[in-house]
Amino acid sequence: MLVGHVDLPYGIKETQFFTTYYSKGIDWYAHHFRYANGDRKIAEICPYFNAMKAPARIHQHLPGCKFLVTFRNPVDHAYSTYKMLVRGAFVRGTFDEVLNLRPHIDDGNRYAKHLTAWFDQFGPERFLIMRYEELRDDPQGYLDQVCDFIGTARIPISDHARRQRQVNLIERAPKSRKLAQNARHLGYWLKRRHAYGLVAALRRAGVWEFCNGRGEIFPPLSPEQRAMLTERYLPEVEALEELLKIDFSQWKKPGAVPRQAAALGAGGT
């Protein structure tokens, strides 16, 4: 919805500069905004939240920027992270196996810990904190908050736009893990060279889906798994409530299964 209203990275949604590609240098990053002339706000959408080095790196280059953070129920976020790791052939195994072997899944849900690090670097006044449920239940109100915070005119979401949105769900594991690994390496190689047009063309041709999908369907979390995860992340939820003085009591209920909505993705924080 922000396309055409703010200047976003050209040709790609997530540059991943302050994590994966930081060694390429700030000029590599700036090249993504080569068509920005200063008439509009400049923005990037990227999951830097739990990257330990990202706050200091961003502060070095962009000390005056603002941040939008949308928190999702950590139970759903944990399972979504697992599916992305499997789809990209970073891990193999069941969710329970990977959960106990990959601390990255838990680390991504330490919301209060990471947010405190960002607050220490920039100050809390530079952050707009929202909840996933706001996006799900009132996308127009959610977008209005975003526009007001970044200082741009509000953008109406038409009924047509709502119908056209697709849910970014990860439904299947890769049929071939080796093929998925090779596709991931190719994707990184192309992005390092700003070959985003080719990345997009391969997506339209179905290449990435062919490499990363077509395998077994991911089952929904069982009631027992949801209860276990709710208990596992309860201290984190309570720490976030204490930090922000926001009620997250809905996340403390083991039976809270998320509803799907056409305007939502299932990717990240």
Domain annotation for the chain: domains and CATH numbers: 22-252 (3.40.50.300)
Distances (CA, A) of 192 to 15, 45, 180, 199: 9, 18, 19, 11
Place of tokens 């127009």: 140
CA–CA separation, 173 and 185 (whole Å):
17
What are the residue ranges in the chain where pLDDT is below 70? 159-168, 255-269
Query: How far is 122 from 74, CA to CA, in rounded Å?
Result: 24
120-129 residue pLDDT tens: 999 999 999 9
The answer to whether 230 touches 253, Cβ cutoff 8 Å, is yes
- What's the confidence (pLDDT) of residue 17? 95
Question: What is the identity of the amino acid at 47?
Answer: P
Alpha-carbon distance 267 to 269, whole Å? 7
> 132: how many CB neighbours lie within 10 A of its CB?
18
Q: Around Cβ 81, how many Cβ atoms within 10 Å? A: 24
Cβ neighbours of residue 223 closer than 8 Å, sequence gap 6 or more: 254, 255
Q: What is the pLDDT of residue 253?
A: 86
pLDDT at residue 207 in the model: 93
**pLDDT of amino acid 161:** 61
Q: Contact at 8 Å (CB) between 169 and 266?
A: yes
- pLDDT for 102: 73
Position 105 scores a pLDDT of 85
For the record, the structure tokens of 218 come out as 């991911």
**How many degrees, rounded to 5, is the angle at CA 165 between CA 44 and CA 90?**
60
Q: What is the pLDDT of residue 239?
A: 96
What is d(CA 194, CA 187) in angstroms, rounded to the nearest whole number? 11
What is the pLDDT, as a whole number, of residue 267? 41
Structural tokens at position 118: 């960002």
pTM of the model: 0.84
- The predicted structure's pLDDT at residue 265: 36
Question: 7 — phi, psi (to 5°)?
Answer: -90, 110
